[in-house]
Structure 1
């Protein structure tokens, strides 16, 4: 199958490598020279295009499978809407209008669309309540994906980690504010999208590992494994009382939930890194070697 990955970045490159290794053709679409170089270095076919520029999408070849994994570059809600909503609409329209439209679309979203659930468990049946402009945009984009004129799935990623995104310094140094971590290693984020494509999975799927963990518990485990003192802790109230927080940071602190991967497990996906213990092993070994 030919897969076109629009926004072939941190997860997209790993997805492309996994698909390539399984005999599929992969086109990685980026809008910058540096991005195209990374696509080529991964052994994928690089194509320059920008989802916010509909005309540029005519340079992208037809796709059997289409993956929308573009990033807004960490910018605000307006930029996010241009990429995630308008960009996805552009992509759906461009590929749906072709003589050979895609057989399947996967849009990569975020568990941030759930908002705050007071530490309770959430799954695909839980009502989403986005609390920020950016997560509201992600929810809008999910609607665009699920209403596409070809079968589609929404992959809601938990917090991504892996090569270049291990957060040892943050959790070893502290102070660590209480709350839950919902995580998934990049290899499994990409693997779950690959699985959704190959197994023709529709609808919403949470992409999260087996064990959401409290930040305090994770920080203590990480310190013990690295052989250093456990970091200082602080409550949410202590952090909120500090008075140096942006509104977005306050919302993140007040947002708490535990994400369930039951559907993904029941569908048959097998994790490479079922929990943070396996996923952080390489980073811990590197830390100890240094």
Structure 2
């Protein structure tokens, strides 16, 4: 679709923080970006918002009729429950595919932003796109269900499984250290800066113009690390000596996630480890030099 057009139309379904970052980063490449949200917010210079409940066919299908070259699904559940995840991910994907089947055009790419919650490994082993997915929680199960809807559709699709996203507005570990609620767990944790998450989407959307994408990519930084190492470093930068709590809840799982497939596509991470990523965030907590 629109092969002769210099401007491609990108639709971001569930356009929150990651969607805004994606829109900002991809704007210089000549995309016309539309973002769907449940509640309408003010447009940005690089992003036009439309109010839409994507699980509602009467609202979604007329919007799809406008025609889009690329569709990115980046939903946030209204509540952390099985019902919330089913509605946000499974029902949204079902309505999207049903709506597209009623249109005369075919998008060149559908990308679904998923999560490494689909992996349940607990032994500190390395995990990648080929590893077994046997989630024991509702979140991973519903995400896998949504992934299958996209990958089994008649449209070119790819899944981006993101590890723990952090960045501006996502300071949970910093706040835990400050409030002496950090975990001293030796279990490995995995994370990706929000800017790198968006950059991975841009990179894959552009790459798909030249060659088919793999079905699944994992977006995570290059340095899985034990939780105690991460929070200890954060506390050290802040000059905090007491930062852990004996009853603090540990991160789910214990695995080291590999980003090699994504790096092999040529993506260069701006924040390849937690130290480079958290250094920028910590600046707002430190007194000016």
Residue 192 of structure 1: which of 175, 192, 200 is its match? 200
Q: Which residue of 2 aligns with 1:122?
A: 127
Task: Give the Cα–Cα distance (whole angstroms) in 1 for the partners of residues 270 and 141 of structure 2.
Answer: 31
Question: Which residues of 2 match residues 2-13 of structure 1 at below 5 A?
Answer: 2-13=9-20
CA distances 1:255-281 after superposition (whole Å, capped 9, x unpaired): 211111010011111111111111111
2:264 maps to what in 1? 266
CA distance in 2, matches of 1:147, 1:163: 35
SS at match of 2:71: strand
Q: Structure 1 pair 75/233, CA: closer, same or farther in 2 (3 Å)?
A: closer
For residues 58 and 113 of structure 1, what CA distance do their matches in structure 2 show?
29
Q: Which residue of 2 is the match for residue 246 of structure 1?
A: none
Matched, 1:15 2:22: yes
- The CA RMSD measured in Å over matched residues stands at 1.8
Q: Which runs of 4+ in 1 moved over 4 A?
A: none
Distance 1:23 1:128, change over 3 A: same
User: Cα distance, 1:227 vs. partner?
Assistant: 2.2
Q: CA separation in 2, counterparts of 1:121 and 1:220?
A: 23
Q: Tell me the TM-score normalised to structure 1 length.
A: 0.88
CA contact (8 A) 1:62 1:95 kept: no
Aligned position for 2:70: 65
Question: How far does residue 64 in structure 1 lie from its aligned partner after superposition?
Answer: 0.2
**What is the DSSP-based 3-state SS (H/G/I as helix, E as strand, rest coil) of the residue aligned with 2:140?**
helix
Alpha-carbon distance between aligned partners in 1 of 2:76 and 2:175, rounded to the nearest angstrom: 25
| CA distance, structure 2, for counterparts of residue 232 and residue 31 of structure 1 | 38
Q: How does 1:95-134 map to 2 (within 5 A)?
A: 95-134=100-139
1: distance between equivalents of 2:87 and 2:268? 35
- 1:138 Cα shift? 0.6
Which of 47, 51, 54 pairs up with 1:48?
51
Aligned-pair CA distance for 1:42? 5.5
| Aligned counterpart in structure 2 of residue 213 of structure 1, from 225, 233, 240 | 225
1:177-210 Cα shifts (integer Å, max 9, x gaps): 4122210000011111111111112310000001
For the residues of structure 2 that align with 1:253 and 1:43, how far apart are their CA atoms? Answer: 35
Question: Per-residue deviation at 1:117?
Answer: 3.2
Displacement after TM superposition at 1:31 (Å): 1.3
Bigger helix share: 1
- Of 163, 169, 172, which residue of structure 1 is paired with 2:175? 169
Aligned to 1:142: 147
The equivalent residue for 2:254 is 256
Report how many residues are paired.
Answer: 272
Q: Which runs of 5+ in 1 are unaligned?
A: 240-248
Partners of 1:223 and 1:83 in 2: CA distance = 35
Q: Which moved more, 1:192-201 or 1:171-180?
A: 171-180
1:158 paired residue among 163, 169, 183? 163
Q: TM-score, normalised by structure 2?
A: 0.89
One of 266, 281, 284 as aligned partner of 2:282: 284
